[in-house]
Chain A
Amino acid sequence: EAGVVQSPRYKIIEKKQPVAFWCNPISGHNTLYWYRQNLGQGPELLIRYENEEAVDDSQLPKDRFSAERLKGVDSTLKIQPAELGDSAVYLCASSPGLAATGELFFGEGSRLTVL
Chain B
Amino acid sequence: GENVEQHPSTLSVQEGDSAVIKCTYSDSASNYFPWYKQELGKRPQLIIDIRSNVGEKKDQRIAVTLNKTAKHFSLHITETQPEDSAVYFCGPGDSWGKLQFGAGTQVVVTP
Given that A41-B104, A44-B101 are contacting pairs, would A91 and B31 also be in contact in the complex, using a CB cutoff of 8 Å?
Answer: no
Given that A101-B93, A104-B46, A106-B44 are contacting pairs, would A45 and B104 also be in contact in the complex, using a CB cutoff of 8 Å?
Answer: no
CB atoms of B32 and A43 under 8 A apart: no
Kindly list chain B residues whose C-beta atoms are within 8 Å of the C-beta of A95.
Answer: 97
Question: Which B-chain residue is minimally distant from A44 (CB atoms)?
Answer: B101
Kindly list chain A residues whose C-beta atoms are within 8 Å of the C-beta of B43.
Answer: 91, 106-109
Kindly list chain B residues whose C-beta atoms are within 8 Å of the C-beta of A99.
Answer: 95-97
Given that A91-B44, A106-B44, A108-B43 are contacting pairs, would A45 and B49 also be in contact in the complex, using a CB cutoff of 8 Å?
Answer: no
Q: How many angstroms from the CA of A56 to the CA of B96 in the assembled complex?
A: 10
- Please classify the interface of chain B as helix (H, G, I), strand (E, B), loop, or mixed, using the class held by over half of its residues: loop
Kindly list chain B residues whose C-beta atoms are within 8 Å of the C-beta of A104.
Answer: 36, 44, 46, 99
Interface size on A, residues (CB 8 A): 26
Q: Which of A41, A43, A45, A55 contacts B44 (CB 8 A)?
A: A43
Question: Which A-chain residue is minimally distant from B44 (CB atoms)?
Answer: A106
Q: How many angstroms from the CA of A35 to the CA of B99 in the assembled complex?
A: 11
Q: How many angstroms from the CA of A55 to the CA of B101 in the assembled complex?
A: 18
Closest CB-CB distance, A29 to chain B, in whole Å? 12
Closest CB-CB distance, A50 to chain B, in whole Å? 8
Q: Which of B42, B45, B94, B102 contacts A101 (CB 8 A)?
A: B94
Interface flags for A98-112 (1: CB within 8 Å of B; 0: not) read 111111101111000
Closest CB-CB distance, B57 to chain A, in whole Å? 14
Closest CB-CB distance, B20 to chain A, in whole Å? 19
Given that A101-B32, A101-B94, A103-B34 are contacting pairs, would A45 and B45 also be in contact in the complex, using a CB cutoff of 8 Å?
Answer: no
- Name 19 A/B residue pairs within 8 A (Cβ), A-sorted: A40-B103, A40-B104, A42-B4, A42-B91, A42-B102, A44-B101, A45-B98, A50-B97, A55-B96, A56-B96, A99-B95, A101-B51, A101-B94, A101-B97, A103-B34, A104-B36, A104-B44, A108-B43, A109-B43
**A48-B98, A101-B94, A103-B49 are known contacts; what are 7 more A-B pairs with Cβ within 8 Å?**
A40-B104, A42-B102, A55-B97, A56-B98, A99-B97, A102-B49, A103-B46
